[in-house]
A and B are shown apart, each in its own frame.
Chain A
């Protein structure tokens, strides 16, 4: 009996570098019972007859992938004892027969007389969710880590052009943790669904891999627990908690800004997890490079895997979100009301849903049909808040001038050198996009330019944004800063 039951091949879901030797491929294509016969020949030589009869006679091979072998066992007790006592033996047998180490997966669902009511997924060496019969992955009783909202799933996430990329990246991560994008860094403004995506990844992984250690927390919690651990001299327990996670998700990472010791601790946590091929998912309200007071080594690590942005949803997506929310809450809202809400509240989904709730509450409490006037009255504070965010051409000019470090007077001048003309064009473009002003009004505000000049400026900036990611990033940044 070996005390160290986890050696090679049992390295906690670590993807083994597939040695694609010809013999391996042969084995994979061979039928499973033949493989088991070969394995049992090796095993039989090394255990007593009674032990073989007792533990291995009713085992079968259920599936083989390049990384793993799934063994069907009659009862969980077989899994427990084989894992505890014969895992080294079995690993070396597999290595001998298949030409390289493979992960071992146990499946005891095949037995109709199984004594386990709530079946347990085999432990960490479980790697390929696709191999589990569907009925088993539907198992209930998964405990949701604290702080996670059970309704934040991929199903309830509305995908639009604004978040399609982030959504796709999240799904890729959820289906193959630590294989594709590690770390995954999602950023976007408040109320756009960062937390929803993070938690959806967690739920998805828990649904397919029941014993995965999913740790979800806000960055502030990490800081607080870290401080707590220092005070109580419990750093070991703290590290154990985070460094043994299979998936670590930290929300609102920007609050690490300026917290040196926390950053240092997180740097090591990050390293331990990344080296151990564990998935890390982070979210923030801005891209890593723009988080002030964040150590450079962290910034570069955050940008290491995949950085995905969530932008404010467009009109259609906002309406889809409202419809989804309304049907989940079983309320009926007239279409014009949804359009009104989607039109007036543009940047924040949380606020959008809040307004919808308010409308629904009004309808059910007052029992009166809604008209536009009542609606405007009902939502006056939200609408005012939104209106206050309306920007003026003056503000745009100031912001752009400040950003490019040119004089405000240049915004209205006729100078045409590129270092001045391009900022001016961007300012015109932003004025066109962000204010309700007409082309002529914008032209006037920029020193009596022709409306054709404004059209030309808008076209030019659009084109530059399509071609040059830097320009795109720049305009988006200015846009965000103006809305803030």
Chain B
């Protein structure tokens, strides 16, 4: 294999795949990146056996071929190279020489034969959507993913297709985020319902990779899903199991509803939370007519209070939430205002947005005394 590539192009490609290469690998070859020549350039592949990413980058190929090279080492070499143009050549023993201006490196690699095959995308049900649409959907839900590994079905986002609509759900047992996303031109066949859980690591990678307004094509298999972004494809195993019945969590009809400026609420809660204790930290929202007092206090530390003018018409109500959980949606929503729906002190609060797309955030209240 022999090709010439610009430093920027190779760096871009490596950065797209490098997060998948884990530090603790079970097989030595998994710490390598697979380099293959294509007609228009080179293709880079990385995998941790759960998730795999494959991406293309333009290069001038002189001799076709393939090899695998330790990914982190290659990335740090390329990053430090002084010249813009890089010449890479691999011999039959998988020894790769990297030449750039005055620098010369020789790196030992492993044969392509040892590298796990990239999952095949053929014969899988597919549909498409806007990359930005999916990215927004993930941003609105991913913070609610459970990090508790014993609840492994919650360690990811549920992709649920019902009636030609895609719903994303994440929950950790204390809150639940749900949003709908619009599908693109290639629709999932109507009448086919399908639920699958995309694991947390793949979600994090997707959020990095989804950038532009182009389409992303999803190929869904029995136990894996592939996201085809054009030059880059991410394939991941699905979480084995079925998502619990999340509809159980969504409360019934709200008694009170108030619209609040998102950013103002976000910053107020953040300030007030500075004086809620670390352990059982809570902030209390006290609603009175046209006013919202946000308070917190920690014995022997101090207390904080901030007042907001809000259009609240209901009965006086006081409810406590975990400040971090309250801030998460406020931080990640793009809308100017949010609607907070409440039933009573002990029932969950629900955050919604005034938009055509459904978004729902259910937050369990904190009961200060048991």
Chain A contact residues, CB within 8 Å of chain B? 1-4, 46-48, 50-51, 54, 75-78, 80-81, 83-85, 88-89, 92, 115-118, 120, 123-124, 141, 211
Contact = CB atoms under 8 A, between A and B. Distances in A.
Contacts of A54: 248, 251
Contact of A85 (B173, B242, B246): B173
B366 interface: yes
Interface of B: 150-154, 171-174, 240-246, 248-249, 251-252, 279-281, 322, 343-348, 364-367, 370
B251 A3 contact: no
Contacts of B244: 75-77, 80, 115-116
Given A77-B246, A81-B364, A120 B152 contact: yes
Contact of A84 (B153, B173, B280, B346): B173
Contacts of B173: 80-81, 83-85
A211 to B, nearest CB: 6
Contacts of B150: 120, 123-124, 211
Nearest to B252: A50
Contacts of B248: 54, 75, 77-78, 81
11 contacts: A1-B322, A2-B370, A48-B345, A50-B252, A75-B244, A77-B245, A77-B248, A83-B173, A85-B364, A117-B240, A124-B150
A1 B320 CA distance: 9
A92 B279 CA distance: 20
B343 A115 contact: no
Contact of B347 (A51, A84, A92): A51
A48 B240 CA distance: 35
B279 A4 contact: yes
A431 to B, nearest CB: 54
Given A3-B366, A81-B364, A117 B280 contact: no
A120 B279 contact: no
Contact of A3 (B242, B243, B281, B370): B281
Contact of B346 (A48, A80, A83, A88): A48
A326 B343 CA distance: 69
A50 B343 contact: yes
Contacts of A75: 244-245, 248
Nearest to A91: B370
Given A50-B347, A118-B241, A77 B280 contact: no
Given A4-B279, A115-B244, 5 more contacts: A2-B367, A51-B347, A76-B153, A120-B241, A211-B150
Contacts of B346: 47-48, 51
Contact of B367 (A1, A117, A123, A124): A1
A80 B171 contact: yes
Nearest to A47: B346
A116 B245 CA distance: 9
A22 to B, nearest CB: 26
Contact of B364 (A1, A4, A76): A1
A3 B175 CA distance: 12
A111 to B, nearest CB: 9
Contact of B153 (A46, A48, A81, A120): A120
A92 B370 contact: yes
A260 to B, nearest CB: 28
A78 B151 CA distance: 13
A3 B322 contact: yes
B154 A80 contact: yes
B366 A141 contact: no
Contacts of A78: 248
A77 B366 contact: no
Contacts of B280: 2-4
Nearest to B149: A211
A48 B364 contact: no
Given A2-B367, A48-B344, A84-B173, A116 B322 contact: no
A87 to B, nearest CB: 10
Given A81-B364, A85-B173, A3 B279 contact: yes
Given A54-B251, A123-B150, A116 B370 contact: no
A81 B241 CA distance: 18
Nearest to A117: B242
A118 B370 contact: no
B303 to A, nearest CB: 19
A1 B368 CA distance: 7
A46 B369 CA distance: 10
A98 B150 CA distance: 29
A47 B281 CA distance: 20
B370 A88 contact: yes
Nearest to B345: A48
A85 B241 contact: no
Contacts of A84: 172-174, 364
A2 B367 CA distance: 7
A46 B243 CA distance: 29
A85 B172 CA distance: 11
A1 B279 contact: no
A116 B242 contact: yes
Contacts of A76: 153, 244
Closest 5 CB pairs of A and B: A84-B173, A77-B244, A48-B346, A80-B173, A1-B366
A122 B310 CA distance: 43
A78 B249 CA distance: 9
A422 B154 CA distance: 71
A118 B240 CA distance: 7
A88 B370 CA distance: 7
Most B CB atoms within 10 A — which of A46, A47, A51?
A51
A48 B370 contact: no
Most B CB atoms within 10 A — which of A84, A89, A116, A118?
A84
B174 A48 contact: no
A1 B174 contact: yes
Given A47-B346, A48-B347, A77-B246, A116 B365 contact: no
Contacts of B154: 80
Contacts of B152: 120
Contacts of A51: 346-348
Nearest to A123: B150
Most B CB atoms within 10 A — which of A51, A80, A89?
A80
Contacts of B172: 84
A51 B365 CA distance: 11
Given A85-B364, A88-B370, A48 B242 contact: no
Nearest to A83: B173
A54 B362 CA distance: 14
Given A3-B279, A50-B347, A211-B150, A81 B249 contact: yes
Contacts of B174: 1, 81, 84-85
B241 A117 contact: yes
Nearest to A113: B245
Nearest to B150: A123
Contacts of A118: 240-241
Contacts of A88: 370
B322 A48 contact: no
A47 B346 CA distance: 6
A116 B239 CA distance: 12
A407 B222 CA distance: 79
Contacts of B151: 80, 120, 123
A123 B248 CA distance: 21
A76 B151 CA distance: 10
B199 to A, nearest CB: 15
Contacts of A2: 280, 366-367, 370
